[in-house]
Amino acid sequence: MAQAAKPIRKSRGVLGALALTAIAIGLYWGLVIAPPDAYQGEVQRIMYLHLPSILTAYLSYFLVFVGSGMYLWKREKRDDILAHSAAEIGVLFTALTIIAGSIWGRPTWGVWWTWDARLTLTAILLLIYTGYLMLRSLIEDESRAASAAAVLGIIGFLDIPLIHMSVYWWRTLHQPPSILQPNKPPWENVHPSMLTALAISFAGFLLLYFYLLSLRYRLGEMREKIKARRLERGV
């Protein structure tokens, strides 16, 4: 077992190093190379943190969705560990998005926060997955906790298309998407150098995400092994 874990640990280390490198280059590009926005000035650079962060959170909740669905279907522990791990890291990146967005909103919009549809639904997103994590520790029976969490993990994901469509369906203070706009490619919204900074930063966030996920998944696996061994020994 120790032999099998070694190459995984090594490639995880490489992943972490790559993540650090990409984030460093992304930061340099975003803070130094990319030009400031004509209207917003330097503060617009918060975008290089805010946007990759929420896209990473979306991906994470997608994995919660997949893991939850697989767990309800096959009842395999590994899918539950995946969903649980992804939910934890998703909450981290959602909180980061809201904090960065708030700091961006204060000088540009004039407010730290406002209850428009997009912001409200994002706050709900954070609450859903915080609730997901609490629900897991709330129910003592483990497989029942996993099943209940899986149901919430699937339903909760529906909030993401709502967040995406909110700026089209309702009047909001938040602007429409720059990258994920259906009829307009990103390069028509964002200057090439700014777009490059965004892309590198997003790549760095993705690498960091999979590094964290792999660590957290391993932790989940180890917890299961300890539990199984305790059961064997009848402790």
Count interface residues toward other proteins (CB under 8 A): 48
Per CB under 8 A, 213 contacts other proteins: no
d(CA 84, CA 88): 6
d(CA 204, CA 162): 27
Cβ atoms of 210 and 15 closer than 8 Å: yes
Q: Which of 47, 20, 17 is nearest to 31 (CA)?
A: 47
The CA-based diameter of the chain, rounded to the nearest angstrom, is 68
Return the residue of 21, 73, 175, 222 that touches other proteins, per CB under 8 A: 175
Per CB under 8 A, 141 contacts other proteins: no
CB atoms closer than 10 angstroms to residue 163: 19
Bridge partners (DSSP) of residue 41 are 37
Q: Quick one: 80 or 159, whose CB is closer to other proteins?
A: 159
Q: Quick one: 3 or 137, whose CB is closer to other proteins?
A: 137
- Residues 91-130: x where in contact with other proteins by CB under 8 A, - otherwise, as a string: ----------------xxxxx--xxxx-xxx-xx--xx-x
Return the residue of 167, 207, 208, 213 that touches other proteins, per CB under 8 A: 167
CB of 145 to other proteins, least distance (A): 11
Per CB under 8 A, 172 contacts other proteins: yes
- Residues 29-68: x where in contact with other proteins by CB under 8 A, - otherwise, as a string: ------xxxxxxx--x--x---------------------
Per CB under 8 A, 73 contacts other proteins: no
d(CA 37, CA 195): 12
Query: Interior CA angle at 93 toward 193 and 66, to 5°?
Result: 105
Q: Which of 144, 156, 134, 123 is nearest to 88 (CA)?
A: 134
Residues that bind other proteins (CB under 8 A): 35-41, 44, 47, 107-111, 114-117, 119-121, 123-124, 127-128, 130-131, 134-135, 137-138, 140, 167-173, 175-178, 181, 189-191, 194
